[in-house]
């Protein structure tokens, strides 16, 4: 950005190739920054079918749709479907391997839950990935079994990383198509930067991001977290930069702290050492922690690492921080921890939360206002593809605390629109150590902007989600523009 001021002040900057854009009184904000997403998984969702609550409402619906796919595919071809949610199914349960077998027994089938934390395989898929009665659970995971026989029923929890090593990924053509679609969709939502929080990110994923950006398939700026295994083998020379660091860079190390089995994994002592190793190496730490015990364990690990290696501007993060009572909010603040949370979960999952989350946990669910009052910098992400990546729904949810059906989820945790906007701009930039180059509209910063149809700070809360992106500007170029 060369200059910010009145129209008359800009005349001398105009050149023969300049384009003058009249925004006609619309609102201009810094480009949105999704501080927690999973880009490759998002691209995959655009090339496979969705069984979201709007598409299927029963196990019978799931079976009928899989049968249709099976009729069009050769035997032994994998059928991959995402976004089912048992809460919205008529049966109020997960489908099983036997339910899927009724749809096809000659195609391996993998259903991925809306949360991404559960999968269902049919019998053929289970045989291919090597799950049988004798198969032990991987650490931190559950193979659900029939109580009477101990036989696996096809429902798997916390086994995404294990399955990804065995189940074939998309072919190159499908992947490239999905990446192009995903990249364009992000631009259409005003997103000019993303922070990819996938715990499986490694040197191969880095090379893919380089390829996508070099080819122009992904225009957004990318900060990529490393998985812990990739961090342990990290050598800076391997992650060479063929692009500017403002286009693609590393932003910390992701630790997946799971409670899938009812116990924390990794256990506290191991977590302490992992965090200490990352922190002591000068890297930012990002811990996936959802429920209160995980948030508390993360605090303990951060405290342990900071006592061993004191430091102030570390900007370590908790990803999600879904259930956080006041004493943990105070602890996070004292440790200087940032929070990357997902306000739009309130909109998309609020009805489920109100009916399934126990009362004590519900009282402290996504306590964004409390976190901010304690001085914690809170940035906003979508966790896409768990929910759509539209920042306007995140901003709306943080301001209104309303679910998709209009029910209110902890109205006392509402925040003003300007603070909600900062979650996706200024605070998101700070979370990746980039506040000097992005996140606000200031002379000298990157020319990444979004033009909105209305000002979110001036309209009633219920109208925020209806605000549309008119134009997206990235690095001074108009990269997306509303037709007509």
In the chain, the domains with their CATH numbers are 30-41+170-479 (3.20.20.140), 48-164 (3.10.310.70)
Q: Backbone phi, then psi, for 156, in 5-degree steps?
A: -125, 135
- Ranges of the chain with pLDDT below 50: none
Angle at alpha carbon of residue 448, lines to 447 and 452, rounded to 5°: 125
Sign of the Cα pseudo-torsion (198, 180, 426, 372, in order):
negative
Edge-to-edge order in the sheet of strand 118-121: 49-50, 79-84, 109-113, 118-121, 152-157, 142-145
Q: In angstroms, rounded to a whole number, what is the distance separating the alpha carbons of residues 97 and 109? A: 9
What is the DSSP secondary structure assignment for residue 291, as one 8-state letter? S
pLDDT at 484: 58
pLDDT at 321: 99
Q: Hey, what's the torsion of the CAs at 285, 289, 295, 300, to 10 degrees?
A: -40
Interacting residues of 38 by C-beta distance below 8 A, sequence separation 6+: 116, 196, 197, 198, 383, 384, 385
pLDDT at 141: 95
| Tally of CA atoms within 13 A in the half-sphere of 425 that contains its CB | 22
β-bridge partners, 118:
157
What is the DSSP secondary structure assignment for residue 148, as one 8-state letter? T
Q: In angstroms, rounded to a whole number, what is the distance separating the alpha carbons of residues 197 and 221? A: 14
pLDDT at 288: 98
Q: In angstroms, rounded to a whole number, what is the distance separating the alpha carbons of residues 170 and 199? A: 19
Q: In angstroms, rounded to a whole number, what is the distance separating the alpha carbons of residues 86 and 88? A: 5
Spell 56-74 as b/e; 16+ CB within 10 A means b: beebbebbebbeebbeeee
Query: Strands 338-341 and 317-320: what pairing?
Result: parallel
């Amino acid at each position: 950005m060369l200059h910010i001021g009145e129209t008359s002040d800009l005349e001398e900057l105009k050149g023969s190739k300049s384009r003058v854009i009249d925004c006609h009184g619309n609102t201009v904000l810094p480009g949105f920054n999704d501080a927690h997403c999973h880009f490759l998984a998002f691209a995959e969702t655009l090339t496979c079918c969705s069984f979201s609550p709007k598409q299927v409402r029963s196990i019978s619906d799931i079976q009928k749709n899989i049968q249709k796919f099976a009729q069009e595919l050769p035997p032994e071809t994998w059928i991959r479907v995402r976004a089912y949610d048992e809460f919205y199914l008529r049966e109020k349960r997960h489908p099983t391997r036997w339910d899927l077998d009724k749809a096809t027994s000659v195609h391996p089938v993998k259903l991925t839950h809306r949360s991404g934390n559960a999968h269902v395989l049919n019998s053929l898929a289970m045989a291919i990935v090597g799950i049988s009665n004798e198969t032990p659970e991987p650490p931190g995971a559950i193979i659900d079994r029939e109580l009477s026989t101990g036989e696996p029923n096809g429902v798997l929890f916390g086994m995404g990383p294990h399955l990804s090593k065995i189940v074939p990924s998309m072919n190159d053509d499908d992947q490239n198509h999905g990446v192009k679609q995903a990249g364009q969709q992000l631009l259409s939502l005003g997103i000019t930067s993303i922070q990819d929080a996938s715990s499986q990110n490694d040197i191969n994923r880095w090379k893919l991001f380089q390829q996508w950006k070099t080819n122009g398939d992904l225009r957004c700026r990318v900060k990529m977290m490393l998985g812990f295994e990739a961090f342990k083998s990290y050598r800076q020379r391997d992650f060479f930069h063929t692009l500017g660091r403002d286009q693609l860079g590393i932003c910390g190390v992701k630790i997946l702290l799971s409670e899938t089995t009812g116990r924390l994994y990794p256990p506290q002592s191991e977590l302490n050492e992992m965090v200490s190793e990352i922190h002591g190496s000068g890297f930012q730490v990002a811990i996936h922690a959802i429920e209160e015990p995980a948030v508390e364990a993360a605090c303990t690990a951060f405290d342990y690492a900071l006592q061993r290696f004191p430091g102030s501007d570390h900007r370590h993060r908790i990803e999600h921080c879904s259930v956080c009572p006041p004493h943990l909010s105070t602890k996070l603040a004292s440790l200087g921890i940032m929070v990357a949370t997902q306000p739009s979960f309130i909109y998309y999952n609020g009805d489920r939360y109100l009916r399934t989350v126990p009362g004590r946990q519900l009282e402290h669910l996504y306590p964004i206002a409390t976190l901010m009052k304690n001085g914690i910098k809170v940035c906003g992400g979508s966790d896409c593809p768990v929910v759509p990546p539209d920042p306007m729904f995140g901003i709306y949810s943080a301001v209104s605390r309303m679910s998709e059906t209009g029910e209110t989820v902890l109205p006392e945790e509402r925040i003003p629109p300007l603070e909600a906007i900062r979650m996706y701009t200024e605070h998101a930039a700070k979370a990746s150590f980039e506040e000097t180059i992005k996140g606000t509209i200031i002379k000298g910063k990157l020319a990444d902007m979004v033009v909105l149809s209305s000002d979110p700070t001036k309209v009633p809360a219920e109208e925020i989600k209806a605000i549309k992106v008119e134009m997206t500007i990235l690095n001074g170029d108009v990269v997306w523009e509303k037709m007509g």
